[in-house]
Amino acid sequence: MEEASCSNLLLVSLPLLVLLFLLVSRRRRETSPAARLPVSLLVVAGSGGHTTEMLRALSALPAPRYSPRLYLLGGSDPLSRAKILAHEETWGARGGEVRVEEVLRCREVAEPLGRSLLKAAVATVQAMWILLTVSQPPQLVLCNGPGTCLPILLAAWISSLIRLPLHLLYGPPPPGGDGDGGSSATRWRPRLVFLESVCRVHSLSLSARLSRCLVDHLVVQWPQIQQQQSGGWRWAAKTTYLGRVV
């Protein structure tokens, strides 16, 4: 009797699973990279030199291809905000929607570790809220060194897991606007890239070492670092040397 019930359940479930697969496949084809639409971008902007390096790296990219653009700052940082807005007036003038948000800065100078961890947890929740409420989730995340990048990278993973059931059922949200797109448009989570600071000549920064298990690509700007990091954990991102990016 139980075997008959299981067989009937399989006969009913199998067509439903096939139908679900066809619907999801059709949705993914409609939002395939062939549409060549813009890639939504999240940039983690640290303070001081980190922001300057990131903006220089962005200058090499075509602004219309990366839209909308979301910048996340660590704490109240009016100088970095001013740099971003000034950069967008020139580089971003070619097109694209821009948004600048803030999360709690994780650590101040000489701050106790326990307090820093608590602030990092708050920053993660803040970043998750931003990523879950934006109209178009980022498909590419770029960061380059400040400790604030760690909670944001973690938030990108968690928010993507929360969105995963909707992604499987309906496919990724279609990008808007004109321009070129990338393969990240069909991924269930954004592609995460860590750009190591040009100041790191012989070794990785602490943020880079901690981020290796979260990011897809770790880009360094000095060949000796890539040679030094040729081994490492199997699940950690391999270092990539592309020359001087900034």
Residues 6+ apart with CB under 8 A from 191: 139, 140, 141, 184, 216, 217
Report the 10 Å Cβ neighbour count for 154.
18
The pLDDT value recorded for residue 30 is: 46
The pLDDT value recorded for residue 184 is: 45
The 10s digit of each residue's pLDDT in 28-44 is 444 444 446 789 999 99
The pLDDT value recorded for residue 151 is: 92
Domains of the chain: 31-241 (3.40.50.2000)
Residues 6+ apart with CB under 8 A from 63: 91, 92, 93, 94, 95, 96
The pLDDT value recorded for residue 198 is: 86
Q: Are 50 and 146 spatial neighbours (Cβ–Cβ below 8 Å)? A: yes
The pLDDT value recorded for residue 72 is: 93
Helices and strands (DSSP H and E) totals, the chain: 7, 7
Pairing of strands 217-220, 191-195: parallel
On the 0-12 / 13-18 / 19+ scale of CB atoms within 10 A, 3 is exposed
Crossing angle for the helix pair 2-30 and 149-170, to the nearest 10 degrees: 110
The span from the CA of 113 to the CA of 128, in Å, is 22
Below-50 pLDDT ranges, the chain? 2-3, 6, 9-14, 16-35, 176-186
**Tokens matching residue 218:** 């770790």
The 10s digit of each residue's pLDDT in 114-152 is 778 888 899 999 999 999 888 888 999 999 877 889 999
The span from the CA of 63 to the CA of 132, in Å, is 24
The pLDDT value recorded for residue 140 is: 95
Q: Are 199 and 147 spatial neighbours (Cβ–Cβ below 8 Å)? A: no
